[in-house]
Structure 1
Amino acid sequence: MKMGFGHPPPGQTQPAPGCIWVRRRVRQLLRCFTRCCSLCLDCMDILLRVLGPLMVLLAVFLIGFVAYTFFTIIVPQLADEGTSSPMLLGQLALGCFILVNIMYNYAMAVCLRAGEPPPFPGEGDAEAGDGSLSLRQCQKCLRSKPPRAHHCSVCKQCVMKMDHHCPWINNCVGFNNYRYFCLFMLYLALGCLYVVILGYRLFLQSVAPIRKRPPNFRFADAQCISLSWLISLCIFLALCLLGGFHAYLVVTNQTTIEFHINMGNRHAAKRKGEVYRNPYDLGHSRNFQEVFGPNRFLHFLWMMPYLAKRPTGSGASFPTVSELEPV
Structure 2
Amino acid sequence: MGFGASGSATKESGFLCIRPRRLARQCLRCFAPCCNLALDCVDVALRVIGPLFVLLALTLICFVMYTFFTVLIPYRADSGTASIQLLLEMALGCFLLVNIFYNYAMATCLSPGEPPDFPGEVLESKDAELGGDYAPAPKQCHKCLKLKPPRAHHCSVCKRCVLKMDHHCPWINNCVGFNNYRYFCLFMLFLAMGCLYYAFLGYSLFLQTMVPARKRTVRLKFEDVQCVTLSWLISVCIFCALCLLGGFHMYLVLTNQTTIEFHLNMAGRQIARKRGEVHRNPYDLGMSRNFQQVFGPNRFLGFLWLLPYVARRPTSSGLEYPTVSDFRA
Q: TM-score, normalised by structure 1?
A: 0.92
CA displacement at 1:121 relative to structure 2: 3.0
Q: Is 1:271 the equivalent of 2:274?
A: yes
Q: Do 1:182 and 1:243's aligned partners in 2 also have CA atoms closer than 8 Å?
A: yes
Q: Is 1:203 the equivalent of 2:203?
A: no
- The one-letter code matched in structure 2 to 1:147 is P
Question: Identity, % of aligned pairs?
Answer: 66
Q: Cα–Cα, structure 1 residues 124 and 135, in superposed 2: closer, same or farther, change >3 Å? A: closer
CA separation in 1, counterparts of 2:42 and 2:139? 28
Q: Cα–Cα, structure 1 residues 249 and 47, in superposed 2: closer, same or farther, change >3 Å? A: same
Match of 2:113 among 96, 112, 115: 115
CA separation in 2, counterparts of 1:47 and 1:242? 23
CA separation in 1, counterparts of 2:163 and 2:129? 17
* Corresponding residue number in structure 2 for 1:43: 41
CA separation in 1, counterparts of 2:14 and 2:127? 58
* Corresponding residue number in structure 1 for 2:260: 257
Q: Cα–Cα, structure 1 residues 217 and 44, in superposed 2: closer, same or farther, change >3 Å? A: same
- The one-letter code matched in structure 1 to 2:236 is L
Match of 2:244 among 235, 241, 244: 241
Q: Please list, as runs of the form range in 1=range in 2, the aligned pairs for 1:59-78 lying within 5 A after superposition.
A: 59-78=57-76
Q: Cα–Cα, structure 1 residues 43 and 271, in superposed 2: closer, same or farther, change >3 Å? A: same
Q: Which has the higher helix share?
A: 2
CA separation in 1, counterparts of 2:30 and 2:44? 21
Match of 2:159 among 153, 156, 161: 156
Q: Do 2:138 and 2:150's aligned partners in 1 also have CA atoms closer than 8 Å?
A: no
Q: Do 2:130 and 2:138's aligned partners in 1 also have CA atoms closer than 8 Å?
A: no
Q: Is 1:318 the equivalent of 2:318?
A: no
CA separation in 2, counterparts of 1:130 and 1:93? 53
Identify unmatched segments of 5+ residues in structure 1. 1-12
Q: RCO greater where, 1 or 2, for CA within 8 Å and sep 6 or more?
A: 2
CA displacement at 1:135 relative to structure 2: 4.0
* Corresponding residue number in structure 2 for 1:4: none
* Corresponding residue number in structure 1 for 2:27: 29
Q: State the secondary structure of the residue aligned to 1:280.
A: coil
Alignment RMSD: 2.0
Q: State the secondary structure of the residue aligned to 1:16.
A: helix
Q: How many residues align?
A: 313
CA separation in 1, counterparts of 2:138 and 2:23? 42
Q: Cα–Cα, structure 1 residues 71 and 123, in superposed 2: closer, same or farther, change >3 Å? A: farther
Q: Cα–Cα, structure 1 residues 258 and 215, in superposed 2: closer, same or farther, change >3 Å? A: closer
CA separation in 1, counterparts of 2:214 and 2:128? 74
Q: Cα–Cα, structure 1 residues 135 and 299, in superposed 2: closer, same or farther, change >3 Å? A: closer
CA displacement at 1:166 relative to structure 2: 0.2
- The one-letter code matched in structure 2 to 1:325 is R
Q: State the secondary structure of the residue aligned to 2:154.
A: strand
* Corresponding residue number in structure 2 for 1:227: 230
Q: TM-score, normalised by structure 2?
A: 0.91
Deviation by residue 1:79-119 (Cα, 9 ceiling, x = unmatched): 00000000000000000000000000000000001111112
Q: State the secondary structure of the residue aligned to 1:141.
A: coil
Identify unmatched segments of 5+ residues in structure 2. 1-10, 132-136
Q: State the secondary structure of the residue aligned to 1:131.
A: helix
Q: Is 1:137 the equivalent of 2:135?
A: no
Deviation by residue 1:200-225 (Cα, 9 ceiling, x = unmatched): 00000012101012353212111101
Q: Do 2:269 and 2:279's aligned partners in 1 also have CA atoms closer than 8 Å?
A: yes
CA displacement at 1:35 relative to structure 2: 1.3
Match of 2:308 among 287, 293, 305: 305
Q: Do 1:121 and 1:128's aligned partners in 2 also have CA atoms closer than 8 Å?
A: no
Q: State the secondary structure of the residue aligned to 2:140.
A: coil
Q: Do 1:281 and 1:321's aligned partners in 2 also have CA atoms closer than 8 Å?
A: yes
Q: Cα–Cα, structure 1 residues 215 and 245, in superposed 2: closer, same or farther, change >3 Å? A: closer
Q: Please list, as runs of the form range in 1=range in 2, the aligned pairs for 1:156-195 lying within 5 A after superposition.
A: 156-195=159-198
